[in-house]
């Protein structure tokens, strides 16, 4: 089931998932953004994170906002 979900992700979502798996711990959005090989627009980045959250592949920490500078 996870393989099927992963295959449906966009390239950006796949890259985010790979970095999140490598990190294994919580990571700030700003740090995750800095790891990307070809950083997207901030809007595309936030949309990809929201998409992963909607698919239940990403848990957003409580009481913390995602801020990209």
**Where do we find the tokens 């592949």?**
57
Q: Where are the beta strands (DSSP E) in the chain?
A: none
CA 11, CA 65: separation in Å to the nearest integer?
24
pLDDT tens digits along 6-45:
899 999 999 999 998 898 788 888 999 999 999 999 999 9
Report how far residue 6's alpha carbon sits from residue 18's, in angstroms, rounded to the nearest whole number. Answer: 10
Instruction: List for the chain the helix, strand, coil content (%; round to 5).
Output: 55, 0, 45
pTM metric for this prediction = 0.80
Between CA 17 and CA 35 the distance in angstroms is: 12
């Amino acid at each position: 089931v996870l393989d099927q979900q992963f295959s449906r992700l966009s390239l950006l979502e796949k890259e985010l998932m790979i970095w999140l798996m490598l990190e294994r711990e919580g990571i700030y959005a700003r740090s995750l953004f800095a790891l990307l090989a070809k950083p997207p627009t901030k809007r595309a980045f936030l949309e990809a994170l929201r998409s992963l959250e909607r698919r239940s592949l990403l848990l957003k920490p409580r009481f913390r906002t995602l801020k990209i500078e």
